[in-house]
Chain A
């Protein structure tokens, strides 16, 4: 009943022109505005089957790594909806792949929870990245942009030191950047592509975490983005799938290693989420057009729907969670 009422009100607003009636009920309009906003920021009850766009989507290939600002529909990373409540005040986070997708959603959420945030991205993603930096700074937090190629070991080391310098320390690392390229057959995977996927998804987290660990104080959190693909990979994600299995695995190993030092290490395993990966070669054309129709909600997830998980795993009150993989996948796949 409440939900119906909300929809009706939204339609009232949509249907109103610049009429006298609009002026007459303006106080009610203001109230409707707030009501609408709470629908997506989790403070009001909302129906997950109706929250976001459903397939089919337009086939819209972009060269790797792709810009989410050019996607149709543009992914929702919580730009207008995420509301902080001081859960990460004073924390200092480095997020790789922070320009778009889940990394962007985490960056926005962290800033709104009170953290200073450095984001890394590939230089061609500058446009998406600058939007994130502006959103972080709008919260009165430090927003640091560190573009560069994660396949390069020297860059990974510089990345950590730049973040340490400019943020004055680090206590959250989100190793999120990923490369995903679909291929029908193992024969279609070139040595260069395989290498690029391994370098980005497996070597970069190693380089970055190894460089950062000596500087992380007890209470720090490391979060890796893994995937449902870690457990039951699609046939066309031969290379990507195994890197996500590796991520799930390093999370559990490092958790054992770093637990005694007071550093928690956890992973997030998304199901099909509407991000730039999916339009820049990460999935087959027909799967891109019907992306997410196989979930129980008949749609892909939006990055904004996973932001709170990245916040929870970083926050001090998750103090007993380490070596865990938190999933969010619309009722399909593992964990």
Chain B
């Protein structure tokens, strides 16, 4: 009797287990969307700090641009995920708490650290989007990456210009 019940339970679950092991969807596209979402939320979060705390007016306005652009991009990205059916974990879509190092910093230190973080951050973001445009498999996600690239490249150019303009600060 006991054995029979256990057998039925195991048999039933073994079947549902097999179903759960359907071939993985394109994990590269999902990974790209997760990384892009985390990037957007981080950029918007740090941008908010910069809009409040940066000493230099143009660093503040770059921060504000990050808030606006990356919040918009995040909305488009979430819509893309919904329409393509990629399930995103909460950890990738929750608004993160502010970066501790930037929260602690003030004055010239804040501006310098923010510019450094944005230069390296946008370099890797542009690289990541470029990579997906070249190697990605999902055409819809690929089109999205292609569509976002000009804006990201403009961000990179803008922050590199600030890095150059304030090189006495950033290369102190």
Residues of A within 8 A of B (CB): 4-5, 7-9, 11-12, 15, 21, 24-25, 27-28, 55-63, 183-185, 187-188, 235-236, 281, 284-286, 289-290, 293
Q: In the complex, how many angstroms separate the beta carbon of B93 from the nearest chain A beta carbon? A: 9
B117 and A286 contact, CB distance less than 8 A: no
B100 and A12 contact, CB distance less than 8 A: no
Other-chain residue from B34, B35, B96, B171 in contact with A187 (beta carbon distance below 8 A): B171
Contact partners of B13 in chain A: CB under 8 A: 8, 11-12, 15
Interface flag for B73 (CB, 8 Å) = no
**Chain B contact residues: helix, strand, loop or mixed:** helix
Interface flag for B64 (CB, 8 Å) = no
B6 and A286 contact, CB distance less than 8 A: no
Instruction: For the complex, give the distance between the alpha carbons of A243 and B61 in Å.
Output: 39
Contact partners of A11 in chain B: CB under 8 A: 13, 17
B97 and A59 contact, CB distance less than 8 A: yes
Contact partners of B121 in chain A: CB under 8 A: 286
Contact residues on B (Cβ < 8 Å of other chain), bracket: 35 or more
Contact partners of B96 in chain A: CB under 8 A: 58-59, 285, 289
Instruction: For the complex, give the distance between the alpha carbons of A223 and B5 in Å.
Output: 52
Instruction: For the complex, give the distance between the alpha carbons of A99 and B59 in Å.
Output: 41
Contact partners of B2 in chain A: CB under 8 A: 24-25, 27-28
A60 and B17 contact, CB distance less than 8 A: no
Q: A12-B6, A27-B2, A281-B101 are in contact. Are A187 and B14 (CB under 8 A)?
A: no
Which residues of B from 82 to 141 have beta carbons under 8 Å from A? Answer: 89-92, 94, 96-101, 112-113, 116-117, 119-121
Other-chain residue from B92, B100, B119 in contact with A281 (beta carbon distance below 8 A): B100
A184 and B5 contact, CB distance less than 8 A: no
Shortest beta-carbon contacts, A-B, top 3? A59-B96, A184-B116, A61-B100
Q: In the complex, how many angstroms separate the beta carbon of B143 from the nearest chain A beta carbon? A: 24
A-B contacts counted at CB < 8 A amount to: 90
A and B contact pairs by CB, cutoff 8 A, 28 listed = A8-B17, A11-B17, A12-B6, A12-B9, A15-B13, A21-B5, A25-B2, A27-B2, A28-B6, A55-B91, A56-B34, A56-B38, A56-B91, A59-B96, A59-B97, A60-B97, A61-B99, A183-B101, A184-B116, A187-B116, A187-B170, A187-B171, A188-B113, A285-B42, A286-B38, A286-B42, A289-B38, A290-B38
Instruction: For the complex, give the distance between the alpha carbons of A15 and B97 in Å.
Output: 35
Residue of B nearest to A280 (CB): B100
Extra pairs beyond A15-B9, A187-B116 (11, CB < 8 Å): A7-B17, A11-B13, A24-B5, A25-B2, A58-B94, A58-B96, A61-B97, A184-B117, A188-B116, A235-B120, A289-B38
Residue of A nearest to B15 (CB): A8
Interface flag for B10 (CB, 8 Å) = yes
B99 and A285 contact, CB distance less than 8 A: yes
B5 and A25 contact, CB distance less than 8 A: yes
Instruction: For the complex, give the distance between the alpha carbons of A27 and B3 in Å.
Output: 10
Contact partners of A286 in chain B: CB under 8 A: 35, 38-39, 42, 121
Instruction: For the complex, give the distance between the alpha carbons of A15 and B6 in Å.
Output: 12
Which of A21, A59, A60 gathers most chain B CB within 10 Å?
Answer: A59
Other-chain residue from A5, A60, A187 in contact with B172 (beta carbon distance below 8 A): A187
Interface flag for B57 (CB, 8 Å) = no
Instruction: For the complex, give the distance between the alpha carbons of A4 and B18 in Å.
Output: 9
Q: Mark B15-27, 1 if CB is under 8 A from A, else 0.
A: 0010000000000
Other-chain residue from A7, A25, A281 in contact with B6 (beta carbon distance below 8 A): A25
Q: In the complex, how many angstroms separate the beta carbon of B7 from the nearest chain A beta carbon? A: 10
